[in-house]
Structure 1
Amino acid sequence: MDPQIVSEIQARLKELETRERITIPLAIESGSRAWGFPSADSDYDCRFVYVRTVAKTVTLFPVRDVIEEPLTPVFDINGWDLAKALRLMYAGNAVIVEWLKSVFAYQLHEPFRDAALDLADVVCDRRLICKHYYHLAKAQIHRQNFFQGDVSLKKTLYCLRPLAALMWLSHHPERAVAPMNFQDLRQNAGFPDVVSREIDILLERKALSSEMGSERLNPVLSGFILDTFDGFQSFANAGEPCAVHQGRIDDFWRHWSAELSPR
């Protein structure tokens, strides 16, 4: 993490708070840097959760629940309104929990983050989290044309990460949410040694290549990805979220909207 770029992101977040009249209790690095496989020219993927004033939160005419800054070769900065983040958590979208677990924080209100993680431990539905990762892997595999010909090194890792999360969750039936970092996933996901060696080679090449680097994938790795994905088809349809947690999520939203709302 380049200290100058980190300082610039922090300054931009402060400017956003003033311009949009919001509070940002969580701003983290996501994407390949946080997942553990950046390229030499990877950009910075800052993601954040924000809270607007009470008047803008409780209104008949709500504004858009996403803030997106202009994309540049270095900066990719955008965030979700707290209500959107909580609805997605309830629906089984693992992204917000990954944000909460990121080790790279640009701006952090620790009591909010800790309370949100406690909430996630209670309300996250393992079935829906697995469904999320299954469809994430499916989308990436389709984009790679099932590994016919040269494929993107970056996107191959984007296939492997959700599959590793599913493998990790299969090995940890008592857990609903997997680690965010790819290396943490690998340690306890049950990768065969021959596949793990190919992943090491892929990671080394990715680290030295550009974001757009591509080549033909070793059949050992492509075959493993496709076979593993096929083995998780039971996660394709996981049903609907359980309504029993709605009250707890709503209470969390009410409390932190009032606590963090700009005065």
Structure 2
Amino acid sequence: MEKTIQELIRKMEEQYNITVLLCCESGSREWGFDNPDSDYDIRGFFYHNDKSMYMTALDSPDYLGQIDYMSKDRIIDFSLWDIKKMFKLLAKSNPSVLEWALSTIVYYEKATEMEMLRKVILKYTCRVPLVYHYLNMSRNNYNRFIKNQMRVKIKKYAYIIRAQVSALWLIQNSQVGQLMKNVPDLINKVKLPEKTRKLFEKVVELKKQQKSELGIINSISDLDQVLSDLQGDLFSQIEKKRNQIIKDYEIDKKTQNKIKFFNKTFFNLIN
């Protein structure tokens, strides 16, 4: 499969006249609960070889900020962002930017450029928006797919667990660059009641054992209650740490010359 992915990258570079900086995994394979039916969620960054694309404030009709591709069998799902888009989202601490930069499954990268880019991403990503991103992801998925449901997709349980343990890790640790992507590892690293930990581990194993991504099971009442309780507890923990969290956020907002620094990095990459 990696040879197929490499070939697709080369074709994209030729077709769109771009240079791909990074192609990595950003799905169940990266999170540690893939099954035989799991697809390849490939994400990353690129820049246009035609530098005129970046020389004006207004985007030209030929400018592409994002390139998407889905294989006919739907096994390979590509979504690549132009670095101009990436920097705009980095300024808002977009979680996808950090997750892709920290991916442990890399299919392709330009090492020197990505070393530079990762340093910038880690320096300018604030954990506060990340925590709320994961909490909102957890709450929305719970209310939509779990609450009051008799039958649920096992992967929805797994996604909610991933969001909650990621939020918990960020509440307990200030270094966003050390955020782990593997959910089983996160479950073992964060502070959780033993009952909760065992339930989470059980769900991850169930997800991995499913022969299909569409695996549906009866709802697990104990787990539903744990997820609901933990969601409330996570928001309570944020309230208790409000002063420190606000301080972190204010420091991030006051970072001097952020845009100037982004521009310098941007032009160092494309030249």
For 2:263, the equivalent position in structure 1 comes to 250
Q: Which residue of 2 aligns with 1:261?
A: none
Displacement of 1:206 in angstroms is: 1.4
1:129-186, CA deviations, whole angstroms, 9 ceiling, x for partnerless residues? 11221222222222214252111111111111111011111221x3235222212322
**Deviation (angstroms), 1:107:** 0.8
Q: Aligned runs of 1:35-184 on 2, under 5 Å?
A: 35-52=31-48, 53-59=50-56, 60-62=58-60, 63-71=63-71, 72-146=73-147, 148-172=149-173, 174-177=174-177, 178-184=179-185
Partner residue, 1:225: 227
- Measure, in 1, the Cα distance between the counterparts of 2:137 and 2:266: 27
Q: Offset at 1:208?
A: 2.1
Q: Secondary structure in 2 aligned to 1:80? A: strand
Secondary structure in structure 1 of the residue aligned to 2:91: helix
SS in 1 for 2:176: coil
> 2: distance between equivalents of 1:147 and 1:215?
14
Identity of aligned residues (%): 23
Contact 1:141-1:147 within 8 A present in 2 as well: no
Paired amino acid for 2:227: I
- TM norm structure 2: 0.85
What does the per-residue CA deviation read over 1:31-75, in whole Å, with 9 as the maximum and x for residues that have no partner? 000111112201111112000021122244332311011354211
Query: Structure 1 CA distance, aligned partners of 2:195 and 2:76?
Result: 37
Q: Structure 1-normalised TM-score?
A: 0.87
CA contact (8 A) 2:19 2:46 kept: yes
Assess if the C-alpha contact under 8 Å between 1:33 and 1:42 holds in 2: yes
* Contact 1:165/1:185, CA 8 A, preserved across alignment: yes
Whether 1:8 and 2:9 are equivalent positions in the alignment is: no
Question: Does 103-112 or 60-69 show the bigger shift?
Answer: 60-69
Question: How many aligned positions are there?
Answer: 253
5+ residue gaps, structure 2: none
Question: Which has the bigger relative contact order, CA under 8 A and spacing at least 6?
Answer: 1
Partner Cα separation in structure 1 for residue 192 and residue 37 of structure 2: 28
C-alpha change, 1:138 and 1:190, in structure 2 (3 Å) is: same
